[in-house]
Structure 1
Amino acid sequence: MKKNVLLLETIADEALALLEENANVFEGYTEGGLNEVLGRIEVHAVITRGKGQIDKRLMDCCPDLEVVARCGVGLDNVDVAEATARKIRVVNAPGSNAATIAEHTLALMLMLMRNLYQSVERVKQHDWNWRNQYAGDELNGKTLGILGMGNIGKRVAKLGEAFGMKVLYWSRTTQNLPMEELLKQSDVISLHLPLTQETNEIIGAAQLALMKPTAFLINTARGALINHAALLDALNANTIAGFAADVLPDEPPVENLSVVQHPHALITPHTASLTAATYQRMCLLTVKNVLAILGGGAAELNSVYNRDSFI
């Protein structure tokens, strides 16, 4: 008998087709869809992406839950502790977006270092003479400081080395330099840390003050890793040279988040992992593992967050 799966958001077509072939799928993201399901149908699995919240309230409404899943890497919108306490498996897709986010990180790095954004805009405005006041530099020979050496951080390190950069790194488990020294020595600092109580606003006024006035800060991890009020002060005071990010503390940004409008900031709308290949890969991996668990089989171990909780 097919089991019932609740979707809190849309997923890739191929993943959806596989899910519909092997389970009864209910769309909780349509108007009234969630109310139609909760309390009326036995829900055995819930799948979300980045916005739909899998919290205690939802779990209370789904007493038959066996697995909750996110088609993505972070688990910010899943209450893992609550699920683990209830012996509900938690699935995500670690590593599935490492390549594309590392590429996006390097793209932002190049845009800042080479001042590409302003150059392109000036030419569109028919201002070819902008080249006479152009100011930019190159990555080759610069020092890249990476905070967080997981799948993405390691890929960024390799790409940085390929560009001729010296790589420094720091994380809780491995480092070749204390974080304070990394901040002082790096020309580009790239954040690839998970968001936890310990890493929330890990970059604040004190850390920004350690950076070179010519240094750039890149964030493609989580917006709340940075205190944005302190960041704006640093940009206004030229304490750092520029900032680029694909993530913000609030998405879409609140109106008074002036960093978005700052002339030395480049912000993309959380699109680093939205390439067709990565979106398909993360959704398929998640769905395959959800179906494996619902069928009583073994999921791929590298995509089950709390697999050791029930041994």
Structure 2
Amino acid sequence: MKLFLISPNIKALLSEKQMSQLNDVSEVILHSDITPFEQIPGLLEGNEERILAIDPDFCDWKVPNKIIDKIPQLKAIVLQTTSFSWIDVDFAEKKGIPVMNLRGFSSIAVAEWATMMMLALARKLPIIIKDSWKQDYIAHQGIELRGKTAGVIGIGNIGTAVAENCHGLGMNVQYWSKSSKDDRFKRVELEELLKTSDVIIPCVAQNDETQGMLTDDMLKSMKKTAMFVSDVHAVYNHDLLLEMVKNGNLYGYAFEDGKAKMENFEGNVWAGPELAWCTEDSMRKNAEQWVEAIVNACNGEYLTQVN
């Protein structure tokens, strides 16, 4: 069995002990340079069974089907992320190749980042930053969150942590979720959540099923005093929310975008880097889970299979 460990970040991700764990179960071929897949030594040739363990930073979040098709004796693919939208899992399934992801390693980090963005909007921090941190007791008046209603869309690991954080701030929490339930909080229909919440926080997975799930009509039904705080993309009309804030039809909008600059947007818009997941704790848990999933795959166990 050969393990192709593909990551430009491997020295920062895995310790010597963790590398030793991998060497104990397989012959490890480490590739840390960013190159085309075709230039990874031995990946597309030979008859030995092999596991592909891959970091999306190597391939700019895309594994082409033609590469999967060319890898001989590929027994499993172990992703270094929770998201698996950057690989065609259906194509892999048709070829009999299980794909594994990692789960929950960054839930707390992402939830705390969303909470931070909510607090930033409530206190008009984007406007204060764009005003060069001047003190303006009129323009910079914020709002208090205690007693406000938080609407969490999706009550999985991240959504649950967000709901707990909001509850800890003294907010009323309501949620919509397709399947998961939490009796500590009030479940409402999605349309009602958008209309009645003071802060709307989508925490759903990004996939074909959720793409565009929040329609323009739903967004337009939000209170003018509401805030929209998002760590996810493609489930709503981003440009519409920017326009709503600009025209005074929404109190604030926060999102992640590694290329956007806050000063390029009008009004109370937080445009921050894509760092929600990135903490010392989440990176440690990520490495532990990745090694565990790789070892399991080498032993023919696919506990976090997504296809």
Which TM class, normalised by the smaller chain length?
A: 0.7 to 0.9
Paired residues of 2:191 and 2:218 also in contact (CA < 8 A): yes
Partners of 1:230 and 1:204 in 2: how far apart? 10
Match of 1:309 in 2: none
Contact kept, 8 Å, 1:216 with 1:240, in 2: the verdict is yes
Find the counterpart in structure 1 of residue 55 from structure 2: 48
Out of 154, 161, 167, the residue aligned to residue 160 of structure 2 is 154
The one-letter code of the counterpart of 1:287 is V
Contact 1:260 1:267 in 2 (8 A): no
Equivalent residue for 1:189?
200
> For the residues of structure 2 that align with 1:260 and 1:3, how far apart are their CA atoms?
49
For residue 225 of structure 1, give the secondary structure of its aligned residue in structure 2: coil
Distance in 1 (alpha carbons) for counterparts of 2:113 and 2:92: 33
Query: Which residue type is aligned with residue 276 of structure 1?
Result: E
Q: Distance in 2 between matches of 1:121 and 1:234?
A: 19
Corresponding residue for residue 254 of structure 2: 244
User: Per the alignment, in what secondary structure is the counterpart of residue 229 of structure 1?
Assistant: helix
Contact 1:39 1:61 in 2 (8 A): yes
Cα distance per residue 1:191-245 (max 9 Å; x no partner): 1111222321223421111100010001112x11121232233223222111001
- What is the SS of the residue equivalent to 1:245? strand
Taking only the aligned residue pairs, the percentage that are identical comes to 25
CA–CA separation in structure 1 for the residues paired with 2:215 and 2:2 = 47
Unaligned 5+ runs, structure 2: 182-186
Instruction: Answer whether contact 2:13 2:283 (CA < 8 A) is retained.
Output: no
Consecutive unaligned residues of structure 1, counting only runs of 5 or more, are 307-311
Determine helix, strand or coil for the equivalent of 1:131. coil
8 Å CA contact 1:14, 1:284 repeated in 2: no
Q: How does 1:19-168 map to 2 (within 5 A)?
A: 19=19, 21-22=22-23, 23-27=27-31, 29-31=33-35, 34-37=38-41, 38-40=43-45, 43-49=50-56, 51-119=60-128, 122=131, 127-128=134-135, 130-168=136-174
Structure 1 position 288 matched with structure 2 position 292: yes
Name the aligned partner's letter for residue 189 of structure 2. Answer: P
User: What residue identity is the alignment partner of 1:39?
Assistant: L
Q: Report the count of equivalent residues.
A: 292
- The 1-side partners of 2:11 and 2:115 are apart by 26
**CA 1:147–1:259 in 2, change beyond 3 Å: closer, same or farther?**
farther
Q: Secondary structure at the match of 2:143?
A: coil
Deviation at 1:16, TM superposition (A): 6.0
* Residue aligning to 1:172: 178
The one-letter code matched in structure 2 to 1:91 is M
The answer to whether 1:277 aligns with 2:281 is yes
RMSD over aligned Cα atoms: 2.6
Which whole-Å CA distance do the structure 1 matches of 2:7 and 2:73 have between them? 17
Give the TM-score normalised by the residue count of structure 1. Answer: 0.84
Amino acid at match of 2:211: N
Which of 231, 245, 249 matches 1:235? Answer: 245
CA distance in 2, matches of 1:132, 1:230: 27
Q: Secondary structure at the match of 1:24?
A: strand
C-alpha spacing 1:166/1:101, structure 2 compared with 1 (3 Å): same
Distance 1:46 1:110, change over 3 A: same
> What SS does the aligned partner of 1:158 have?
helix
Letter in 2 for 1:217: F
* 1:274 partner amino acid: C
